[in-house]
């Protein structure tokens, strides 16, 4: 049964247009209703994402533990072509597909795949393998629950071994892996020693460096990057020519990602939550602990955004003019805080920004788990330089034979 709605405050020129274009024999009410129906059908049948522009590509890569595309965008900006992606979180897959346009994302447990047949050949294998078993927060939580951590974590920790299995089968020239800073010190360095030895046993030379994303985004976010080169594919000089990118000095401030207009007040903390966070911080200050909220304004950079940000937003709270209490970042601001900016949106075929395709809660979890595409872009740019040297050398060798 039709429902009545009342349209108020129609602009003069819009009202004049309706009056002037009214079809003979149709009432104004009927005409407005037809316009609404036409607009709805157009919106429902329109493509959910824009047409992707065809880009010139220089190399291929696969994206493991793909998340929402932090590696994909960084490598695509360096003219990489993603030939395979795997991610088992269905909400992250929704975002990945919508943002990158890569429809054929494998959602299976990566350990169950036939690596020879299911994964195409590629130049670069990249991925931020699950880090909770190695993170400071993850280890602390697992200790409190009496659960295993590191490589003893059956579901997540042993996924590094899966990467090694794939590498043994596909032999990509380059690996670019990312994890939390704590990977290097976990279990008194034993975890990192195992990783290093396994990479070496596979015949790869590993370069490792902890990089703070605050050179590119207004967020203190330290992550370790492992860039590994197949010794059979590269000469020693080519491998040694690789250098990690220099971290830009005087990086951006939060003002560069905060919305100009005050956002919806639903992002403001409730009185009860704000009181709880203040009391919690005061209690731990007395105890000599460093726990507490992070209250910032546009002149600051933020703490590291975590996957738990959706719970209370405590690590990054914004002083907002006109708001009684501080507020969380909006999902749009959180995207930019991670580096998913307008430039990458345009690269992926959008006009200005990435669409919001999941709930706020899922968005915050995804950003907290993601790697910054600005950092993967910088790291992969240096790795691709080495890849090009190798390809040029092999092309010249081929001509000389």
Q: Does domain 59-251+373-400 correspond to CATH entry 3.40.50.800?
A: no
When pLDDT is averaged across residues 361-384 and rounded to a whole number, the result is: 97
48 confidence band (pLDDT: 50, 70, 90): very low
C-alpha dist (Å) from residue 142 to 50, 149, 150, 303: 43, 6, 10, 23
* Residue 373 CB partners (closer than 8 Å, separation 6+): 69, 70, 71, 72, 73, 74, 77, 338, 339, 340, 344
* Residue 380 in this model has a pLDDT that exceeds 90: yes
* Residue 6 in this model has a pLDDT that exceeds 80: no
Whole-number percent of the chain with pLDDT over 90: 70
When pLDDT is averaged across residues 124-150 and rounded to a whole number, the result is: 54
The yes-or-no answer on residue 131 being catalytic is yes
pTM of the model: 0.81
When pLDDT is averaged across residues 61-88 and rounded to a whole number, the result is: 97
Q: Which of 140-149, 155-164, 388-397 has the lowest mean pLDDT?
A: 140-149
* pLDDT value of residue 76: 98
* Residue 114 in this model has a pLDDT that exceeds 70: yes
CATH number for the domain running over 254-369: 3.90.120.10
* Residue 58 in this model has a pLDDT that exceeds 50: yes
Q: Out of 82, 126, 131, 228, which one is annotated catalytic?
A: 131
């Amino acid at each position: 049964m039709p429902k009545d709605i009342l349209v108020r405050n129609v602009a003069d020129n819009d009202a004049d247009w309706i009056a002037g274009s009214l079809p003979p024999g149709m009432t104004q009410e009927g005409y407005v209703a037809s316009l609404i129906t036409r607009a709805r059908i157009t919106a429902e049948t329109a493509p959910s994402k824009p047409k992707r522009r065809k880009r010139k590509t220089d190399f291929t890569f696969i994206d493991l533990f793909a998340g929402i595309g932090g590696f994909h965008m960084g490598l695509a900006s360096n003219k990489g072509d993603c030939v395979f992606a795997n991610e088992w979180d269905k909400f992250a897959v929704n975002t990945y597909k919508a943002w990158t346009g890569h429809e054929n994302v494998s959602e299976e447990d990566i350990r169950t795949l036939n690596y020879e047949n299911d994964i195409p050949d590629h130049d670069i294998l990249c991925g931020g393998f699950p880090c909770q078993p190695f993170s400071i927060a993850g280890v602390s939580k697992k200790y409190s629950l009496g659960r295993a951590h590191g490589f003893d974590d059956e579901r997540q920790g042993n996924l590094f071994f899966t990467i090694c299995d794939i590498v043994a089968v596909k032999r990509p020239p380059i690996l670019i892996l990312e994890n939390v800073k704590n990977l290097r010190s976990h279990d008194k360095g034993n975890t990192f020693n195992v990783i290093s030895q396994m990479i070496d046993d596979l015949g790869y030379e590993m370069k490792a460096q902890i990089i703070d994303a605050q050179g590119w985004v207004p967020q203190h976010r330290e992550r370790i990057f492992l860039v590994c080169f197949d010794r059979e594919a590269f000469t020693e000089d080519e491998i040694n020519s690789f250098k990690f990118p220099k971290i830009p000095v005087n990086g951006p401030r939060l003002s560069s990602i905060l919305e100009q207009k005050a956002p919806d007040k639903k992002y403001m903390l409730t009185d009860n939550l704000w009181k709880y966070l203040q009391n919690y911080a005061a209690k731990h200050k007395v105890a000599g602990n460093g726990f507490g909220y992070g209250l910032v304004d546009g002149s600051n950079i933020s703490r590291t955004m975590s996957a738990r940000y959706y719970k209370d937003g405590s690590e990054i709270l914004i002083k907002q003019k006109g708001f009684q209490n501080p507020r969380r970042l909006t999902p749009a601001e959180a995207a930019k805080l991670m580096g998913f900016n307008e430039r990458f949106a345009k690269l992926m075929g959008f006009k200005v920004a990435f669409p919001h395709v999941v709930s706020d809660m899922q968005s915050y979890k995804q950003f907290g788990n993601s790697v910054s595409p600005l950092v993967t872009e910088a790291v992969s740019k240096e790795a691709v330089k080495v890849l090009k040297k190798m390809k040029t050398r092999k092309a010249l060798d081929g001509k000389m034979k």
